[in-house]
Structure formats: structure tokens, C-alpha cells
Chain A
Amino acid sequence: MIKAKFKPSKQKKHKSHSFLGRWQRQIGYAWHNVFNYFYQNIFASLLTIFVIAISITLPTIGYILLKNANQAAEQWYPTPNLTVYIDKTLSEEQSKDLIDKFKAISEVENVIYLSRNETREEFRAWSGFDDALDLLTENPLPAVAIIFPIETAKQTNKLHALQAQLQKIVGVDDVHLDDSWFTRLMALTNMVKSIVWTISIFMVIAVSLVIGNSIRLNIVARRQTIIVMQLIGATEGFILRPFLYNGIFTGLISAIFALILSKVFILQIDSTMLQVSNVFGKIVSINGLSWDESLLIILFSIIIGWLSAFIATKKYLNEMVIVS
């Protein structure tokens, strides 16, 4: 046998022995491991990624539809407003004071005031009963204030509360709130929202299980490696790292695939939307995800990947520990 120097000598101090260098190399090794495993099991890995991608795509599409439905609701329907009929006995001055009171309410965005004369003119112009009005000695129409609520108050219960509040003010004859379409629309969007939420929660669970299971298979396949690493002094962190990175990697790639699939869905539905546009005589188009939203989905997917990998790895590694 050839002899070589073997001495348990002291380690030389060297720049590359620094903590940062060591850390970088260990992380590099872990990532290297992840990519190696990915290439060695390319088919299984891609299968896992597609399952996760589809699981993420479904709630993403749900979200896109919900977002567009909300936008459509804002575009197509007038903002809900309250019509206040002011007591006919009030003078013009008193009516103006009343309007100031309305404006002081925090839920009120804007008030349009129509005096009794103005309402009469409007009625005359719209109804065509000029002659009938002339027969009357007194103006039968009250002064009207149209109240526009602020954005956050555009909810059924808040609008009703505002209506009740206005009703109580002295000098107010009646408050009319036309919100039947609004209530229906809100109920519909709320239903869609809760459906999207339920699907999302189920899909998140599915994604966690899929990632957890693929990590479990990965651990079983590398059982011997893990045992040897424990025997020669690898820390738990070192053993965990490749699995955690695998979770992050799977989450990232799946999210990117999911975004591509959602984009395909939007393109596909846009063509059918054109037909809808023709029928309704209105330009309808689907808005896709913004950069922020896409980034959020990627980040969310990465976090799920990391978390489920962490839980799975901790659980299965503890079962495998060589020392009790």
C-alpha cells in the first residue's frame, strides 16, 4: 500500500473556512441534491408538479372570475343612492340647513339638492303634464335630496341603517332606498365568494398532502443515505435542508405552471366572451392576474411547499432516528 501523510493536525485558518463560506457551500450542496433528485425522477417529479399546478389553478380561476364579476357589477350598475323627500312645510332656508345636516353624516359622500321649484321643472320636462300642473294652485312636489353613500357604506345592512338614521331627522318626510338589485347582486357575489373560498381551502389541503406524500417517498428512497449521514455526524438541519428546498422548488414550479394554465384559461374564455359581447352589445373582456397577484400566488405556493415539506420531513425523520 502506498503511504501518505496522515496526521490529526490542526486545521489551517483560511478565509474559506469562515462561517459564511461553509454555510454557502452547505446550501449549495442541498440545492444540488434537489436538482439531482429532480432529474433522476423527472417523470414522477413532473407528475407531482402537474397535480399541484392544477390544484392551484382551480382556485386561481375562481378568483379571476370573482374579481371580474365585482368589476362588472361596479361598471354596469349605478351606485346605490337614497332619495330623501323633505317636508313641504319647510322654507328654502330650513331645507338648506337640513342639507348641511345630511352632509355632516360620516357615511355620506355627496348630496344633490333639488328645491321644490326645481323638482317641478324636472317633472314638467319629463312627464309632459305641463297643463295639469298649471291647474294646481300649489306646487304638489316636495324638495328632494339625493344622497350618495361613501364606498364602504355600500352594503345592504349599512344602507338600511343610513336610511333609518335619515328618517329620524326632523323635517324629513320620507327616505326611499331602491336596493333590490343591489341586494340580489351582493347575495350572488357573496355566494360565489364563499364557493371560491371553500374550493381554495380544499385545494390548499390537497397541495399540502401531495407535497407531503412526495417528500415521504423521497425520504423512504433515501433512507440509507439519511442513516449514513446521521452516523457520520450530519446535523438535523443538514439532513432536513434538501427536503425543505425540494418543497420550495416544487411550490415555485407548480405556481408558475398554474399561472400559465390560468392564462390559457383566460385566452380561451376571451374568445367565447366575444360572442357574449355581440349578444349584449357591450364590450366584455376578462381581466387576468396582475403582477402583484401573480407574485402573491407564487409566494403562497412556496410557503405551502415549505411548510408541508417541513411537517412531513420532521415526522418521518423522527421515525427513522437511529438513536432513541
Chain B
Amino acid sequence: MIQFQRVSKVYLGGKPALQNITFTLSPGEMAFLTGHSGAGKSTLMRLICGLEKANDGKVLLNGVDVSRLKKHQMPFLRRTIGMIYQDHQLLFDHTVYDNVAFPLIILGKPADEIKKRVSASLDKVGLIDKMKFYPIQLSGGEQQRVGIARAIVNRPTVLLADEPTGNLDNKLSKDILKLFEEFNQTGVTVLMATHNMGLIRRKHHRILNLNQGRLEVKN
């Protein structure tokens, strides 16, 4: 599903962010991406959805080399990925409902289908009763769940979560992790970046640990 072949990334004028990364994530697999702040977790995530370009190596998603895609092909790549951001990336001048509906509006789905899918998605994250609210009226955890609902509304095959539990307390973090495990059980490939080792300690999923841009595979 996701395949990195000796990928390196250097930011302009800086030290290498990622060095010689090689790993494969099979379809339906769930894995954690760990490491200290600045270890390159976000960079790795951004490489998968084409927000950054690798300087060397190949990033394959469903067998397609992401770094070779043209600018106009990028939107179609991103539609197959559900991406969750640490800073949510929500629209504060739109309601929760509109925020979640956005990926479907972009696809030009009919109104009744949008309504059905958005409701299902919000139901899934437990925010169905707050769909008329604006993001500013929600707590941090709820905003994060809006982001998750938006990521899953188009039924992606890959779910990428960059520090989804970054600002949340333990109870909420566990809830969100449980949610991801549920998605994983339905066949979605999940890659979740986190620095919260306590949260994933007892989980049996693979852990990809980044240390100063290099990969150390555990389990």
C-alpha cells in the first residue's frame, strides 16, 4: 500500500530531515510512527500525500510514485488519502457539517448523498448533535474529531494522522486511537504519527521509530 524505497529529504539549507528511509506498509495494516519532535514524522507524512517532494528515492502509494506526479495530478492523489492534521485545518467560517461535507462537494456529489455520508461520518466520531456548530464553539478534542470525520467521509483506503492526539488528554487520546483501530478493522490502512509512547505501549501494531531522520523498526 505505502512503500518507501531509500527516501531522503533535505530542506533547503538545512540538515537532512529524512535519510535513506525504506519500509513497506501492506494494505489493511496499522502502524505507528514515533520519534521526538523534529525527527521527521511530519515530513514523512507530507511526502506520502505529495505536500513535499523527496530529493532521492521513491514514495509509492498503491504502486504510484508520488514524487513523480505532476502538479495537476496531485488533487486526485489526495482524494484517495484521508489526512488528519495536528492543527486540524478546519474552516472556521463554516459549520461542522460544511467542513465535513467539503471533500464531497469538491467531488460534486449530489446533495442527498452528501447529507447521508456526512451524517454517517459525524455519527461515527460522535458529533452528530453538533453539526450546526462552528468549530470555534467546540473543544480541541471535538475539533480534532471533526478533522477525522472529514478525513473518512470520502471512504479513503489510507488514513494518515499526524499527531492527532497532540493536544488531548489521555482519555480523549484513547478514544481517538480506538476510533482508528475500528477503521483499521474495516480494511483501511492506517499510519499514525505520535510521540505519546504511553498511549501505544500495549498495542500490538508495528512501530516505525524515527531518530534524527533515520528509521529504526521495532516489533
A residues sitting closer than 8 Å to B (CB atoms) are 1-9, 16-17, 21-26, 29, 224-225, 227-236, 238, 322-324
Could you show 17 A-B contacts with beta carbons less than 8 Å apart?
A1-B178, A2-B123, A4-B120, A4-B123, A6-B152, A6-B155, A6-B186, A16-B113, A22-B107, A26-B105, A228-B91, A231-B78, A232-B106, A233-B103, A235-B106, A238-B106, A323-B53
Does B79 contact A25, Cβ atoms closer than 8 Å? no
Interface of B is mostly: helix
Does B92 contact A224, Cβ atoms closer than 8 Å? yes
B residues sitting closer than 8 Å to A (CB atoms) are 50-53, 71-72, 74-79, 83, 85, 89-93, 102-103, 105-111, 113, 120, 123-126, 128, 150, 152, 155-157, 175, 178-179, 182-183, 186-188
Chain B nearest CB from A7 CB (Å) reads 5
Contacts of A234 in B (CB 8 A): 75, 106
Does B109 contact A3, Cβ atoms closer than 8 Å? no
Does A323 contact B52, Cβ atoms closer than 8 Å? yes
Contacts of A8 in B (CB 8 A): 155-157, 186-188
Does A228 contact B89, Cβ atoms closer than 8 Å? yes
Contacts of A7 in B (CB 8 A): 155, 186-187
Chain B nearest CB from A194 CB (Å) reads 46
Contacts of B155 in A (CB 8 A): 6-9
Does B76 contact A231, Cβ atoms closer than 8 Å? no
> What is the CA–CA distance of A2 and B183 in the complex, to the nearest angstrom?
14
- Partner of A25 from the list B71, B75, B108 (CB cut-off 8 Å) is B108
Does A235 contact B183, Cβ atoms closer than 8 Å? no
Given A2-B123, A6-B182, A234-B106, are A323 and B75 also a contact pair (CB < 8 Å)? no
Chain B nearest CB from A18 CB (Å) reads 10
Does A1 contact B175, Cβ atoms closer than 8 Å? yes
Does A228 contact B90, Cβ atoms closer than 8 Å? yes
Contacts of B108 in A (CB 8 A): 21-26, 29
Does A16 contact B110, Cβ atoms closer than 8 Å? yes
Chain A nearest CB from B164 CB (Å) reads 15
> What is the CA–CA distance of A73 and B126 in the complex, to the nearest angstrom?
80
Does A3 contact B89, Cβ atoms closer than 8 Å? no
Chain A nearest CB from B28 CB (Å) reads 10
- Partner of A2 from the list B91, B92, B126 (CB cut-off 8 Å) is B126
Does B102 contact A232, Cβ atoms closer than 8 Å? yes
- Partner of B109 from the list A25, A229, A231, A236 (CB cut-off 8 Å) is A25
